[in-house]
Structure 1
């Protein structure tokens, strides 16, 4: 009866490990997105871009000038007074104003996409670190199950030793196994602690400690559109920003001054209106325009190269996932056979038809298969995380 409970625990453990429970990881993710200082800094960059965009498109203040003059007639020799006022307003042509608005929008869009890129990279790295923590927690469960089997073997061995059916050396083998498992448990607890604090440190969560489960499973979607990759989107918006800057710089006259003046002189009142235009003779901004266009061309080449690399990486990950799924099934099938085999060996041990070393070897193989299965599950999760990042699944 007891041995059946042991094997049932194995099955329950693996079914729980493979089940979907997103709550605790989602809690961690939401807390990290709320409190991480690096992401908050990126959010501020977006706000700065909006303010700078407003600066770029705002109107200039008018300039007002007052003047006062003394007039002295050469003929009469008497003195008279005069005064005047002038107002100058910088005028931006409508086409230049539109170009400034386009550039402002492009700058803001670029910062928003950069923030989204930072966010998606953060989610990806946090998820990968979580899988390491989850793997170590699962290893601890394997060790606990190993301890249950070893305890069962020790109890049987102790009873047989009391009856004189086995030697003291055989009993010591069972005892050594229990001590070794305890040592491994302490080692994996150190690994769990290390991976937990590494995860919390990266997340930037101020909360000292909270209970974090390890059974979250990452799934992939059917979306295979690499155009949604956050890096590609960020590079596209950066290129559009450069092209908008180039368009703005292509305007030979970006502004002119509209001037109105009024003056009262001793013998007349003067009203004047005029404009002040810059003459683009020595500086036509052609260099700035060419630099922006060349930079955009360079980014086109780099972006195409990045798309090729992403396409190849996506293809590799899809093929890897197929092999991992097959490997998972194979390990599960082997595990079932090993569990059945160990069950029969324990029965043989009771009637002295097998040695302690033989049954321990069988147990070690079963534990190794359980460990291999956890490793495969971990790589499957990491594979899904990478695919989701490449295809922009984490985009808002």
Structure 2
């Protein structure tokens, strides 16, 4: 009864709301959080270009006035042009660092996209759980109403006391209170979902979506990809810092004096005595080692997490079948006890006990479905199904 009615109501309600896939697609499109990731990619590109650009040249201009003790005054001038030249190999190292920075921004965008999709899916799953509880509450209310009506008929016939009638009424009112509490929780979760999605208006959302596992390789895990790329960027930075000298200055000079013209060309080479970048190089290596350890730890944890999800799914599906079998029997017993209560073969407490057990079984089935969906969401995140 309840299962059939619930399926019909779910089908009808699903036709009225926006599908989860449409809701997710729109949320991703409009998310300012994800748009900021695109800006970070552009920023990384500009930082990379700034890293590999050449240094500006400089020009010195000097005017001289000569006043010999014997003779007339005369003038002169000097022009000097200095161009910093990047040493051989430094440019390649900086280009590799620039590429690594851009790739890090790309993997960060992938990570943000996966986290956003996962979190939104989990929020939706909680919202759907509440909506299904409300649907079950309506069915519980109908059962309680039937029991209450039977109690009124029996009270009129003088087969039960007024206290038993009041007890049936109290049970019915408590069900109403329970439904209102669930509505409050559902409302809070609904607006949390809209807030995270960045929605600017209320929308009807279908709550019957079921998540399924998508097969991906573990190497696509967004956290793992990010850690590995951060490691690569740190190694590239360490390689850049291994160059004690990056530039030498090529100097060309022309000097005009009253009695001669002078041409000079030379190089200015800094001496790496005090500032050898040893600390920067070590810091970059330590950063690389840190992300290497994080990647190793993440790889081990992924295997355990996936194993846990797989084994939990087996147990949940087995438990689901058991509850479905129990529910069939409880529906039969409830029908018999309702008939028995009508003819005074069953007392109210026995009937309410059967009703409560049936509702608990239905609630457990909803919770099992919610857990299966949650497992599928985490499985998809872990295996990279939500990567951009």
Normalization by structure 1: what TM-score?
0.88
Structure 1 residue 263: Cα displacement: 2.9
Q: Is the 8 A contact 1:348 1:354 kept in 2?
A: yes
Distance 1:11 1:91 in 2: 75
Distance 1:175 1:22 in 2: 35
Give the stretch that moved more between structures: 380-389 or 335-344.
335-344
> Are positions 1:201 and 2:195 aligned together?
yes
Distance 2:102 2:212 in 1: 33
1:325 matched residue in structure 2: 317
Residues 115-162 of structure 1 show CA distances to partners (whole Å, capped at 9, x for unaligned) of 332332233222222222211111110010111122223333434444
Residues 42-191 of structure 1 mapped to structure 2, 5 A cutoff: 42-73=37-68, 76-191=70-185
Paired residue secondary structure (2:272) = coil
2:229 matched residue in structure 1: 237
Distance 2:246 2:4 in 1: 79
Normalization by structure 2: what TM-score?
0.90
Q: Is the 8 A contact 2:18 2:203 kept in 1?
A: no
RMSD: 2.7
Give the stretch that moved more between structures: 7-16 or 78-87.
7-16
Q: 1:71 to 1:7 in 2, by over 3 A?
A: closer
Structure 1 residue 95: Cα displacement: 1.7
Q: Is the 8 A contact 1:339 1:366 kept in 2?
A: yes
Give the stretch that moved more between structures: 378-387 or 33-42.
33-42
Structure 1 residue 377: Cα displacement: 0.9
Paired residue secondary structure (1:284) = coil
Residues 327-359 of structure 1 show CA distances to partners (whole Å, capped at 9, x for unaligned) of 112111211221222223333344443233322
Structure 1 residue 42: Cα displacement: 4.0
Distance 2:161 2:63 in 1: 121
1:12 matched residue in structure 2: 8
Paired residue secondary structure (1:258) = strand
1:219 matched residue in structure 2: 212
2:358 matched residue in structure 1: 366
Q: Is the 8 A contact 2:17 2:204 kept in 1?
A: no
Distance 1:22 1:60 in 2: 59
Paired residue secondary structure (1:102) = helix
Q: Is the 8 A contact 2:104 2:230 kept in 1?
A: yes
Structure 2 gaps of 5+ residues are none
Give the stretch that moved more between structures: 7-16 or 326-335.
7-16
Structure 1 residue 201: Cα displacement: 3.3
Give the stretch that moved more between structures: 153-162 or 20-29.
20-29
Structure 1 residue 239: Cα displacement: 0.9
Structure 1 residue 8: Cα displacement: 3.4
> Are positions 1:394 and 2:386 aligned together?
yes
Q: Is the 8 A contact 2:16 2:204 kept in 1?
A: no
Structure 1 gaps of 5+ residues are none
Distance 1:197 1:370 in 2: 26
Number of aligned positions between the proteins: 388
Q: Is the 8 A contact 1:21 1:215 kept in 2?
A: no
Structure 1 residue 217: Cα displacement: 1.4
Give the stretch that moved more between structures: 40-49 or 321-330.
40-49
1:337 matched residue in structure 2: 329
2:348 matched residue in structure 1: 356
Distance 2:221 2:249 in 1: 46
Q: 1:83 to 1:364 in 2, by over 3 A?
A: same
